[in-house]
Amino acid sequence: MEQQQLMSDLMDLLGKKNVLTDATALSVYECDAAPSFKALPDVVVFADSTQQVSDIVKIANRHNTPFIARGGGTGLSGGMLSVQGGIIIALNRMDRILEVDIENEYAVVEPGVVNLLLSQAVQEYGYHYAPDPSSQKACTIGGNIAENSGGPHTLKYGVTSDHILGMEVVMPDGEIITLGGEVEDVPGYDLRGLMIGSEGTFGIVTKATVKLTRNPQAYQTALAVFDNMDDASNAVSTIIGNGIIPAALEMMDTLVIKALEEAFQFGFPLDAEAILIVELDGIKAGMQNQTDRIIDIFEQHHAREVNYAKDDEERQELWKARKSAFGSFGRLAPNYITQDGVVPRTTLPKVLRRISEISEKYQIAIANVFHAGDGNIHPIVLFDERDADQCERVEHVNKEILTVCAEVGGTITGEHGIGVEKMDYMPLIFSRADIQVMKDVKDIFNPTGLCNPGKIFPTAASYEKLGLQPNTSHENIETNI
């Protein structure tokens, strides 16, 4: 009865065609791009305006029903899953670019604008939107804000939080507020900063003022092939240690090379252990000098060959290899999990060796394609989900990889977020007191816990899984709301 009333309230507000209740239609929304985690929502609604989002949230509160924002559904940590049922609020119809102000270098956009389409829309003015997740053809600005997403060019340009000036937000009680503005350094607490990366648990972003970045005058892109993974990793640290900050510095290992060759035939040598792609951008003058220094560093670290992009077409071709990597993993295994951790750059050789040992120990293949310049590793754990024994070993593999990241002073996610995937591992890097402060802040924004529940915070079982003692001073942590 209560459920029927909820559906009827939503249909009255949005019209029947904007409310999905059919089980087959709902199944499209049961997971994001990490299909190991699934949960069926009770209902999916399509919002078209801030006022509608606010009204939906008020209805959800009246019926004490969880609600979750969804952008492109490309998340990799199960962030948009309705783990306690409830309403998924699909925002992809709120996809308008409302204002472009080139003189002040910003744009105002709705949350469902697809990342790449924003850059394409301002290209004619010689500008782009800098954060460029590899999923940029499908992910949305709202999702990027929630996950504080980065991408290959994060090394020089920073992550989403460096490019968002302000936001309009529907709070978990339905109230509409503004955080930040159109200029830097709005007085008061930086609640804009707090909202970015809150994984949809502090409210729903319905508008964003984003910085636009002038396109660089020139690029130089090179690809180096290494026989030895340690040499490639050490070259990365040496480049940065020499004060050169490329726009991007990406690494792919031998399994990724194999998958790319099987799928697309780029002509990479199959016996190489690693490929580095490096891109410089900026003012043309002086760039050749920096490129020459990078080539010297590659040679010092025994690169087997180095190829330059001579023009934009060749540059696109080099990037095509990197951006096609995820599309080629089907050649290696039926399923994969994209792990995400950050380690200090200088520990890359050690960490990659440890990952190889973990792969050996559990007989689970692991490929590596990652943002080497930021030490943001992405071990791709390859398996077959139809094999229960493999699935169990994959659990151990994930835990050990993240433990290694924590042990070397790194962290358990660089850009994919915690969501449901990593909440068990939060105690690897945060004390109970740290987690309690985060929970206290969440409770201020989201006191009923109805806004995207069941994410981020570890449960009692999480501590047990990690072999940690239950805590007496912060009992609240043990309740995952």
Ligand X SMILES: Cc1cc2nc3c(=O)[nH]c(=O)nc-3n(C[C@H](O)[C@H](O)[C@H](O)COP(=O)(O)OP(=O)(O)OC[C@H]3O[C@@H](n4cnc5c(N)ncnc54)[C@H](O)[C@@H]3O)c2cc1C
Which residues contact ligand X (rule: CB under 6 A)? 32-33, 68-76, 79-80, 91, 111, 133-135, 139-140, 142-144, 146-147, 149-151, 199-200, 204-205, 326, 415-416, 452
Across 53-79, b (16+ Cβ under 10 Å) vs e yields bbbbbbbbbebebbbbbbbbbbbbbbb
How far apart are CB 417 and ligand X at their closest, in Å?
A: 6
Of 186, 158, 51, 88, residue with least CA distance to 374: 158
Angle made by CA atoms 147, 148, 150, in degrees to the nearest 5: 110
Instruction: Specify the residue, 46 or 298, whose C-beta has the smaller distance to ligand X.
Output: 46
Q: Nearest residue to ligand X, using CB?
A: 143
- The CB-of-65 to ligand X minimum distance in angstroms stands at 15
Of the pair 78, 298, the CB lying nearest ligand X is at: 78
Give the phi and the psi of residue 283 in degrees, each rounded to 5: -80, 140
Shortest reach from residue 93's CB to ligand X, in Å: 12
Residue 303, both tokens: 């690169």
Q: Which is nearer to ligand X, 298 or 341 (CB)?
A: 341
Nearer to ligand X, 136 or 233 (CB): 136
Strands 341-342 and 43-46, by their bridges, are: unpaired
- Sheet arrangement for strand 218-226: 303-308, 218-226, 274-282, 248-253, 366-370, 379-383, 335-338
Residue 229, token pair as written in the block = 């993974």
Closest distance to ligand X from the beta carbon of 26 (Å): 15
Residue 152: CB minimum distance to ligand X, A: 7
Element (H, E) at 379: strand 379-383
Written as one letter, the residue type at 200 is G
Q: Which residues, including other chains, have CB under 8 Å from residue 288's CB and lie 6 or more apart? A: 220
User: Rounded distance, CA 170 to CA 168, Å?
Assistant: 7
Q: Could you tell me the smallest distance in angstroms from the CB atom of residue 198 to ligand X?
A: 8
> By C-alpha distance, which of 242, 308, 256 is closest to 279?
308
By beta-carbon proximity to ligand X, the closer residue of 14 and 57 is 57
Nearest residue (CB) to ligand X, 74 versus 238: 74
Which residues face 101 on adjacent strands? 106
Nearest-approach distance from CB 372 to ligand X, in angstroms? 13
Q: Which is nearer to ligand X, 204 or 255 (CB)?
A: 204
Of 142 and 427, which has the nearer Cβ to ligand X?
Answer: 142
CB 376 within 8 A of CB 35: no
Strands (E), 192-264: 204-211, 213-214, 218-226, 248-253
The string of DSSP codes covering 159-199 is -GGGSEEEEEEE-TTS-EEEEE-SSS--SS--HHHHHTTST
Task: Tell the smallest beta-carbon distance from residue 107 to ligand X (Å).
Answer: 16
Q: State in angstroms the smallest separation of the CB of 425 from ligand X.
A: 17
Closer CB to ligand X, residue 33 or residue 295?
33
Which lies closer to ligand X via its Cβ, residue 200 or residue 373? 200
How near is the Cβ of 145 to ligand X at its closest, in Å? 6
